[in-house]
C-alpha cells in the first residue's frame, strides 16, 4: 500500500502472465467487500491490441473536443503514459443492481449510488496495490463519460454497466517524484479515546 504510486511512464513489458493478472482480478472480486453484498463492481481486462485500441478511442474522442495545439501534448501523454503499457483494467458499476438495492433497502435508497462508488473505489485500490506488488506501474484515469458509448459498443458492454475508471498498467519506466504530504496528520486524524 505504501509503495503504490501513480506511474505515468510505462513500458509494454508485462511483469506477470495474463493468467496471473486474471487470477488476481478474480481474487479481488471475491475478496473486496461491497455494500449490502451487492457485488456491483464489474471489471474488464484489456490486453494486447484491445488495450491499444482503448487508448486510440480516447485520443480520437479528445481530438474532437480539444484544440489541435493542446491535443498534441495530450496525445503525447497518452502515448507514453497509458497506451505504452501492456494492459488496462476498466472499472464498471452495474446500475441494475444498484437500482434493485435501492428498492430492496428503501431506507438507504438515496445513498445507494454513493455506496456503489465506495465499492468501486475499494476495488480500484485493491487492484492498484496488487499490480504494484506484481511489479507493475499503474495510474487511475477518468476519461468517462466521454468514451462510454464507444467503449460499450466496441466491447459489447451491457447497458446497465456504468464506466467509473480506467487503470493502465505496464513496466514502470522511471520513478515518481517524492510524495509530499502538505497537511499535518493532526488535521487529518481525530481521536477520541477513554
Average of pLDDT values for 172-192?
87
HSE toward the beta carbon, residue 175, CA cutoff 13 A = 4
22 confidence band (pLDDT: 50, 70, 90): very high
According to the model, what pLDDT value does residue 3 have? 84
Rounded Cα distance between 67 and 11, Å, is 28
Q: What are the sequence ranges of the domains in the chain? A: 10-188
Q: What percent of the chain has pLDDT over 70?
A: 100
Please say if the pLDDT value at position 1 is more than 90: no
Q: Rounded to 5 degrees, what angle do the CA atoms 136, 9, 163 make?
A: 70
Give yes or no for residue 179 having a pLDDT over 90. Answer: no
| Fold of domain 10-188 | NADH Oxidase (3.40.109)
pLDDT tens digits along 81-94: 999 999 999 999 99
Residue 128 above 90 pLDDT? yes
For the chain, list the strands marked E by DSSP. Answer: 10-11, 41-47, 87-94, 137-138, 161-172
Radius of gyration of the chain (CA): 18
What would the mean pLDDT of 41-53 be, rounded to a whole number? 98
Amino acid at each position: 500500500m505504501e509503495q503504490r504510486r501513480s506511474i505515468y511512464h510505462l513500458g509494454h513489458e508485462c511483469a506477470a502472465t495474463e493468467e496471473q493478472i486474471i487470477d488476481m482480478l478474480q481474487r479481488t472480486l471475491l475478496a473486496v467487500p461491497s455494500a449490502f453484498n451487492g457485488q456491483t463492481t464489474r471489471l474488464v481486462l484489456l490486453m494486447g491490441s484491445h488495450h491499444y485500441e482503448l487508448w486510440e478511442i480516447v485520443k480520437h474522442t479528445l481530438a474532437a473536443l480539444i484544440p489541435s495545439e493542446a491535443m498534441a501534448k495530450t496525445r503525447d501523454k497518452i502515448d507514453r503514459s497509458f497506451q505504452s503499457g501492456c494492459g488496462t483494467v476498466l472499472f464498471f458499476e452495474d446500475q441494475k443492481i444498484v437500482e434493485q438495492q435501492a428498492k430492496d433497502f428503501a431506507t438507504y435508497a438515496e445513498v445507494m449510488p454513493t455506496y456503489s462508488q465506495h465499492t468501486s473505489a475499494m476495488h480500484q485500490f485493491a487492484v492498484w496495490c496488487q499490480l504494484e506488488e506484481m511489479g507493475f506501474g499503474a495510474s487511475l484515469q477518468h476519461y468517462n463519460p466521454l468514451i462510454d458509448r464507444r467503449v460499450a459498443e466496441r466491447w459489447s458492454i451491457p447497458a446497465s454497466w456504468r464506466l467509473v475508471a480506467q487503470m493502465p498498467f505496464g513496466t514502470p519506466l522511471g520513478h515518481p517524484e517524492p510524495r509530499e504530504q502538505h497537511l499535518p496528520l493532526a488535521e487529518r486524524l481525530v481521536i477520541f479515546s477513554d
